């Protein structure tokens, strides 16, 4: 088949998210100016640079039934900071619970029964059970066509749970990072293989 996005795909569900897959999930934690915690998953998410390390995530439009920005975006506009928590397969159901469209001020850490770990460099709540958590400062907010916005941030601090380090390397098979596929589908990383770069071959 062939389609141009503006003309429609004609399928029962938009295949785009299944095409750009698997996508890592940025579990975005924030604390507003009144000290209220917020947590939500975003799979239009990625690392975008490594020196200094930077990440981005995108919000698709406002909250349903309101013209207001999603809570994560509104809080980052207020405070200029956010946490990124890596979702292990063990945390899948709790991650999903935090995607509910609660009113501003509802603490998704509490709703999902997640313990908070305090940021060490920035005033942020982080997911204590996450294998890795990043403390980030807003770099730029970028308007995208339509009503989407992209948040880019600089990583100021990195927390790695020691249990997931083996021989000085992150052992992803020990925590199986969760990724988003299309539709309601997910996949966890459970097989890893290495390949030398062409320049490294003799």
Can you give the binding site for ligand FMN, defined by CB under 6 A? 25, 38, 40-44, 58-60, 63, 70-72, 96, 99, 101, 180
- Cβ proximity to ligand FMN: between 101 and 120 the closer is 101
The first and second tokens of residue 103, run together, are 């009113």
- Cβ proximity to ligand FMN: between 106 and 128 the closer is 106
- Cβ proximity to ligand FMN: between 46 and 171 the closer is 46
> With 0-12 CB in 10 A as exposed, 13-18 as middle and 19+ as buried, what is 64?
exposed
How near is the Cβ of 144 to ligand FMN at its closest, in Å?
Answer: 11
How near is the Cβ of 2 to ligand FMN at its closest, in Å?
Answer: 26
How near is the Cβ of 134 to ligand FMN at its closest, in Å?
Answer: 17
- Cβ proximity to ligand FMN: between 113 and 163 the closer is 113
- Cβ proximity to ligand FMN: between 52 and 110 the closer is 110
How near is the Cβ of 165 to ligand FMN at its closest, in Å?
Answer: 26
SS (H, E, C) the chain: CCCCHHHCCCCCCCCHHHHCCCEECEEEEEECCCCCEEEEEECCEEEEEECCEEEEEEEECCCCCCCCCCHHHHHHHHHCEEEEEECEHHHHHHHHHCCCCCCCCCCHHHHCCCCEEECCCCCCEEECCCCEEEEEEEEEEEECCCCEEEEEEEEEEEEECHHHEECCEECHHHHCEEEECCCCCEEECCCCCCCCCHHHCC
How near is the Cβ of 93 to ligand FMN at its closest, in Å?
Answer: 11
- Cβ proximity to ligand FMN: between 159 and 180 the closer is 180
CA angle at 31 for the pair 27 and 34, rounded to the nearest 5°: 155
How near is the Cβ of 182 to ligand FMN at its closest, in Å?
Answer: 11
């Amino acid at each position: 088949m062939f389609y141009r996005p503006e003309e429609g795909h004609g399928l029962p569900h938009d295949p785009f998210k299944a095409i750009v897959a698997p996508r890592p999930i940025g579990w975005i934690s924030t604390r507003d100016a009144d000290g209220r915690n917020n947590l939500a998953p975003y799979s239009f998410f990625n690392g975008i640079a490594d020196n200094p390390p930077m990440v981005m995530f995108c919000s698709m439009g406002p909250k349903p039934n309101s013209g207001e920005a999603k809570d994560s975006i509104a809080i980052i506009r207020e405070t200029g900071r956010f946490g990124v928590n890596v979702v292990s397969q063990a945390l899948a159901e709790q991650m999903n619970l935090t995607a509910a469209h609660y009113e501003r001020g509802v603490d998704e850490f509490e709703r999902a029964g997640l313990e908070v770990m305090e940021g060490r460099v920035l005033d942020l709540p982080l997911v204590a059970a996450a294998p890795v958590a990043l403390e980030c400062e807003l770099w730029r907010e970028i308007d995208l066509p339509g009503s989407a916005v992209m948040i880019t941030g600089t990583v100021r601090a990195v927390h790695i749970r020691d249990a997931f380090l083996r021989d000085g390397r992150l052992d992803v098979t020990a925590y199986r990072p969760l990724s988003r596929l299309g539709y309601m589908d997910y996949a966890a990383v459970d097989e890893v293989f290495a390949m030398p770069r062409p320049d490294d071959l003799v």
